[in-house]
Each structure stands twice: as C-alpha cells, then as structure tokens.
C-alpha cells in the first residue's frame, strides 16, 4: 500500500485507522476479565484486514472499542489509543465521536435477524439513518434505500423495499444489513462474522459482495471471523488473536504458506480438506483460557503441542519482527518458519 494520498482523506504516511496498545477490562462481581491485552493493528483505504481467532479471543470487543459501543461500566479501557485519520477516538468528545460512528466507521453485526427490527420494513430501517443524520427528505431517503439494496444485489429492490425482515432469507437479510452499513458512505467497514449461520454457497456470495464493495468504494475493511477458509480470497493481511492479544500478523499468502505460530498452524490444520477425505479432522485440544485467570508465560502453552519448559511456561513471548511486516508472539517463531519445530 502506497503512502500517497488515498481515499481522498488520508494524509501521506498516515494510516486510515490505527489501534495502538489497546487494553480492555470487564469488571464483574467475580473479578476482572482482561479481555484485550495490548492489541495493535492498522488499516489503510482499499484493503482488508482479517482478524481471526476462536470465540472469546477479543476480536469483537476490539471492534466495539473502535466503534465506541462498549458498555462502560462494566467495560473499562485503562490504556491504549485508537486513531482515525490521525485523531484519537478515545480522547474525542462524545458528540464528535457520534458523528464519526456510522458515518465514517460503520459495522455489520453478526446476527442480521436480531439486529433488524421486525416491526419496520427494511426500506424504513435503511433510510432511517439518512433521515436522522442528513437533511434528506423521506422520499429521497427511500429512493436511496432502493439504490443501496440494488448495490448489494437484492433482486427486485423496488418492490421488496416495503417487505419486513422475516420475509427475507438469511443471506438476503445479511445483504440488508450491509446496505444499512453503507448508507452514509463509510471509509471504514467492520464486518463482524458476516457469514454466521449461512450455508456455504451463500457465504461465498456474501464474501464476494464485500470484496467487490471494498474495491469499488475504496473502503478499508476489517473482517472478523474464526474461519481461515472464509478469508483466503478476500483478505490482504491477517491478524490472529488469542487471549486478547495479536499473536501473529502477516500478509495472507505468508500465513497460508507457512504459519509462524503454533496456534495459527492449529487453525489451518483444522480446515476440512478434500485431499484428507476419510481421515479424522484435526482439532486444537483444550479450551481457550479463562480471562480472569490467564496462564503464566505464553497464554497458549497449555494447549500447544510444541510447548517447551520452562521458557514457554514462565516467560510471555514478545512479538518478534520476522521481516516484511510479519510478527509472531512465539519463542520459537523462527524455528517454525525454518521447519525445525514439529
């Protein structure tokens, strides 16, 4: 990605969105859950960053912190910065941040059926943002809603604009959610598990649609998922999260060719493959750690097949720079890349 002016608003040398050393805690009756533990990543216009990891790894909480929609309390952000076009969102007045939320940075939520209001037509819901945040008339907003439904390839948009969410299939409801998120022409789109509960064919259609929209509108997109198979043809870079920390970051081709962290290798090995027909599906043994009682040392060591004592148990690995923008938080990352581990 060049450092020249991109996207119309991004100064040279400055990322469109940048998260720096972010920490998020949840204070509960049972104790403090350390959900995000020093997350840093960036996004430029026109690219897709995939954020991967199991449920509970902190993917969605990081996105909610960017959007400013965490419930505080119980959530607390003790440390960190989130820059949009060079301005720290965490230091902004709420009214200014509200202007950015939904307009410049928009989000597609996981469950379209739950996110859509069942008592209003989809056209009303898409046009609501335009009516409330601009001076657009009701008729003009509804016309724009039809255009957005056309943009996300909903057949017969003009006739379906008055239909209700329950009258759409799961894939079409997800397209309605995407249309809503695009209403204000955002520069950053956060897609949180956009293919959840959809069949494989519809998943592919939604991913192709998001890729086309990102390219045509020159948006930056953060794609949150637990499925490496979903992002292979869509992402430019991948950030792998575990226990609230990014444990590996690289371009998509490097990750698939040779992972530099045992957890990433475990995720890749667990993808079903046609050439492994008849064999037992690989799994990552054990469960993600309790965020109130995180393990010592490397947080992945209780599940890691390559654990070496005492270093993995006693010392938390720092994020190693492996060159070309690639990092890995594993004591033996270089050995993994050289094929000398496992």
Distance between CA atoms of residues 90 and 125, nearest Å: 29
Structure token pair of residue 89: 């969102």
321-to-1, 63, 81, 258, 282 alpha-carbon distances in Å = 19, 25, 21, 15, 29
Pairing of strands 105-108, 188-192: parallel
Phi and psi of 25, rounded to 5°?
-120, 150
Residue 13: per-residue pLDDT: 52
Pairing of strands 48-52, 245-251: unpaired
The CATH number of 17-104+184-266 is 3.40.50.300
Residue 134: per-residue pLDDT: 84
Distance between CA atoms of residues 244 and 127, nearest Å: 36
Mean per-residue pLDDT, 129-135: 84
CB 223 within 8 A of CB 210: yes
Sheet with 75-84: strands ordered across = 31-43, 17-28, 75-84, 87-88
- Whether the pLDDT of residue 5 is over 60: the answer is no
Residue 12: per-residue pLDDT: 42
Domain map of the chain by residue range?
17-104+184-266
Residue 4: per-residue pLDDT: 31
Sheet with 326-328: strands ordered across = 105-108, 188-192, 220-225, 48-52, 237-242, 245-251, 326-328, 320-323
- pLDDT, one tens digit per residue, over 184-227 is 889 999 998 887 767 777 788 888 888 888 888 899 999 998 87
- pLDDT, one tens digit per residue, over 223-261 is 998 877 778 888 899 999 999 999 999 999 999 999 999
Looking at the DSSP assignment, which residues form a beta bridge with residue 115? none
Distance between CA atoms of residues 35 and 289, nearest Å: 11
Shortest CA distance to 129 belongs to which of 189, 68, 182? Answer: 182
Pairing of strands 48-52, 237-242: parallel
Residue 7: per-residue pLDDT: 37
Mean per-residue pLDDT, 155-170: 90
Residue 276: per-residue pLDDT: 65
- pLDDT, one tens digit per residue, over 96-121 is 888 898 889 999 887 777 788 899 99
Residue 314: per-residue pLDDT: 93
Tell me the three state secondary structure of residue 292: coil
Residue 123: per-residue pLDDT: 92
Residue 194: per-residue pLDDT: 82
Report the mean per-residue pLDDT for the chain.
87
- Whether the pLDDT of residue 342 is over 50: the answer is yes
Pairing of strands 31-43, 48-52: unpaired
Place of tokens 């990891």: 53
């Amino acid at each position: 990605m060049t450092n020249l002016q991109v996207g119309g608003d991004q100064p040279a040398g400055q990322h469109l969105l940048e998260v720096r050393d972010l920490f998020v805690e949840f204070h509960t009756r049972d104790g403090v859950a350390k959900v995000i533990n020093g997350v840093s990543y960036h996004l430029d216009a026109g690219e897709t960053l995939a954020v991967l990891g199991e449920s509970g790894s902190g993917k969605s909480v990081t996105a909610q912190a960017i959007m400013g929609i965490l419930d505080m309390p119980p959530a607390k952000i003790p440390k960190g910065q989130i820059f949009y076009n060079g301005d720290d969102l965490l230091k902004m007045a709420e009214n200014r941040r509200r202007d950015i939320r939904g307009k410049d940075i928009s989000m597609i939520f996981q469950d379209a059926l739950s996110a859509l209001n069942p008592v209003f037509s989809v056209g009303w819901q898409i046009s609501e943002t335009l009516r409330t945040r601009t001076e657009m008339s009701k008729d003009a907003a509804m016309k724009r809603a039809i255009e957005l439904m056309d943009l996300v390839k909903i057949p017969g948009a003009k006739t379906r604009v008055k239909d209700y969410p329950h009258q759409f299939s799961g894939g079409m409801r997800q397209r309605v959610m995407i249309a809503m998120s695009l209403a204000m022409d955002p520069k950053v789109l956060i897609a949180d598990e956009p293919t959840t509960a959809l069949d494989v064919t519809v998943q592919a259609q939604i991913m192709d649609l998001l890729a086309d929209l990102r390219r045509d509108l020159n948006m930056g997109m953060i794609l949150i998922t637990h499925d490496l198979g979903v992002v292979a043809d869509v992402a430019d870079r991948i950030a792998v999260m575990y226990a609230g920390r990014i444990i590996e970051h690289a371009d998509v081709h490097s990750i698939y060719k040779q992972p530099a962290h045992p957890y990433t290798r475990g995720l890749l090995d667990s993808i079903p493959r046609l050439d492994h027909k008849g064999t037992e599906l690989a799994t990552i043994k054990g469960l993600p750690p309790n965020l109130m009682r995180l393990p010592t040392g490397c947080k992945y060591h209780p599940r890691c097949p390559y654990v070496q004592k005492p270093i993995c148990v006693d010392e938390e690995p720092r994020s190693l720079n492996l060159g070309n923008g690639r990092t890995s938080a594993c004591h033996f990352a270089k050995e993994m890349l050289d094929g000398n581990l496992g």
